[in-house]
Structure 1
Amino acid sequence: MGSERVEMGKRPQQDTRNAGHTRIAPSNAHMLDSVNTHTLGWLNAPPNACCFCWCCCCSCSCLTARPSKDERIPERICEKQTEAEVEELRGPTLEDVRLWSQSFEQLIKSPHGRANFRQFLKTEFSEENLLFWLACEELKKETNRTVVEQTVKQIYEDYVSILSPREVSLDSRVRDVINKNMLEPTSHTFDDAQHQIYTLMQRDSYPRFINSNVYADLMKSLEEPQTPNES
């Protein structure tokens, strides 16, 4: 018994750092290291990695950043906008341009007509007339009271105020109407003023545009070349 106690006393203390771990034979240690490496890589893999990307290598295609569904929606919207812009850039047809000469209404209701008319008005330094008319048209479409009040104020400052460099030409009667309407702004605050500017453009600027070189050159550029007569 005494010898057994001595042997037990000589027994080396168990390393507490390895407590709870199973001892692995050296020949199998490298296999365990490989499994642990792959397992840890799988646990730490980013959420967009596939289940086979245990190593999380940068060459794996599943780790490539992909836009989310929400991020792809604006791209589709941009594509539609681009298509619309391309359509707009195609320009008016010869028939469109001919219609403009029939009436001012035909001209101003056409996006291409307004664009060409605006360029002409710039040469006469009266572009503000068309811009004011267009602003009033947009105001009529607005239904939100807060937005209406803000827009009315902005239009007044841009085109009605005598301090504005883009002030349109309005008579005293129409200005009195506007001042009264400004007390309770609505989407029709500038109806009288818009009608007066429309009439001014129709009687003054429109005839000059139709008789201008700008219009004549546009017509000429759209006319189909004449086929030479066969001899």
Structure 2
Amino acid sequence: MPTPHEAEKQSTGPEEADRPPSMSSHDAAPPAAPSRNPCCLCWCCCCSCSWNEERRRAWQASRESKLQPLPSCEVCATPSPEEVQSWAQSFDKLMHSPAGRSVFRAFLRTEYSEENMLFWLACEELKAEANQHMVDEKARLIYEDYVSILSPREVSLDSRVREGINKKMQEPSAHTFDDAQLQIYTLMHRDSYPRFLSSPAYRALLLQGPSRSSSEA
């Protein structure tokens, strides 16, 4: 004669008998939340997880192809005496001259502040980019190279501008760094530009102008 337990198994069927008893709604465990490592969502590369390390290496390898380097002084056309003299009239004229930017960049390098010019040029390139995918990529490259506190080429920005950039980097655009670019432009104008006009490099260019003009005449 079957035991009560065996009778229960026969009445419910072999498959249902072997199935573990179902849990009540009160006993059911809540679904496990998907594991998410916030470190791996960090686009600013301020952490050292392996995902960011791989991305740093990828960005380093592609930087030269993404951001065009500034032409060297030898590549830029030789400025005329009038153009060299115009650089002393206003900082805008200096920055709108390819040869002027090249000479000014060389001067900034002697003062260990070349990153200011590089950042300004990178922002100009970003604003000229029409492809949204490239805008996103270049904006992140600029952030890593010149805004991140881990970068050796970090530019000097105040907290208000930094906070604005961090918010805009959630959805980068061609104008993400406009405020920062203006701040660095103003810094170069007020701090480095007066010293550049008094530098031996600029004075040598001024002296070369009249002599070259007289020899050509």
Q: TM-score, normalised by structure 1?
A: 0.59
- Alignment partner of 1:120 out of 88, 107, 113: 107
Q: Which runs of 5+ in 2 are unaligned?
A: 1-71
- Give runs of aligned pairs for residues 15-26 of structure 1, distance below 5 A: none
Task: Tell me how far apart the structure 1 counterparts of residues 173 and 87 of structure 2 sit (CA, whole Å).
Answer: 32
| Residue in 2 that maps onto 1:178 | 165
Matched, 1:193 2:176: no
Q: Whose relative contact order is higher, 1 or 2, with alpha carbons under 8 Å and at least 6 apart?
A: 2
Shift of 1:222: 2.0
> Residues 158 and 112 from structure 1, CA distance in 2 versus in 1: closer, same or farther, beyond 3 angstroms?
same
Tell me the alpha carbon deviations over residues 123-153 of structure 1, each in whole angstroms, 9 at most, x when there is no partner: 0000000000000001001111100000000
Matched, 1:166 2:171: no
Q: Aligned to 2:149, what secondary structure does the other structure show? A: coil
- Alignment partner of 1:103 out of 85, 90, 108: 90
Task: Tell me how far apart the structure 1 counterparts of residues 77 and 172 of structure 2 sit (CA, whole Å).
Answer: 39
Amino acid at match of 2:187: L
Q: Which runs of 5+ in 1 are unaligned?
A: 1-84
- Alignment partner of 1:146 out of 127, 133, 137: 133
> Residues 183 and 104 from structure 1, CA distance in 2 versus in 1: closer, same or farther, beyond 3 angstroms?
same
| Residue in 2 that maps onto 1:48 | none
Amino acid at match of 2:105: R
Shift of 1:213: 1.0
Task: Tell me how far apart the structure 2 counterparts of residues 95 and 151 of structure 1 sit (CA, whole Å).
Answer: 36
> Residues 143 and 223 from structure 1, CA distance in 2 versus in 1: closer, same or farther, beyond 3 angstroms?
same
Q: Aligned to 1:128, what secondary structure does the other structure show? A: helix
Tell me the alpha carbon deviations over residues 47-68 of structure 1, each in whole angstroms, 9 at most, x when there is no partner: xxxxxxxxxxxxxxxxxxxxxx
Amino acid at match of 1:218: L
**Structure ID, larger Rg:** 1
- Give runs of aligned pairs for residues 32-111 of structure 1, distance below 5 A: 88=75, 90-111=77-98
Task: Tell me how far apart the structure 2 counterparts of residues 123 and 91 of structure 1 sit (CA, whole Å).
Answer: 21
RMSD over equivalenced CA pairs, Å: 1.8
Q: Aligned to 1:223, what secondary structure does the other structure show? A: helix
Tell me the alpha carbon deviations over residues 148-197 of structure 1, each in whole angstroms, 9 at most, x when there is no partner: 00000000000000000100000000000000000110000000000000
> Residues 207 and 143 from structure 1, CA distance in 2 versus in 1: closer, same or farther, beyond 3 angstroms?
same
Amino acid at match of 2:98: P
Q: Aligned to 2:195, what secondary structure does the other structure show? A: helix
Task: Tell me how far apart the structure 2 counterparts of residues 158 and 226 of structure 1 sit (CA, whole Å).
Answer: 42
Amino acid at match of 1:91: T
- Alignment partner of 2:119 out of 123, 129, 132: 132
Q: Is contact 2:165-2:177 (8 Å) kept?
A: yes
Q: Is contact 2:77-2:99 (8 Å) kept?
A: no
The number of aligned residues is 142
Q: Aligned residues: percent identity?
A: 61
Shift of 1:93: 0.8
Shift of 1:211: 1.0
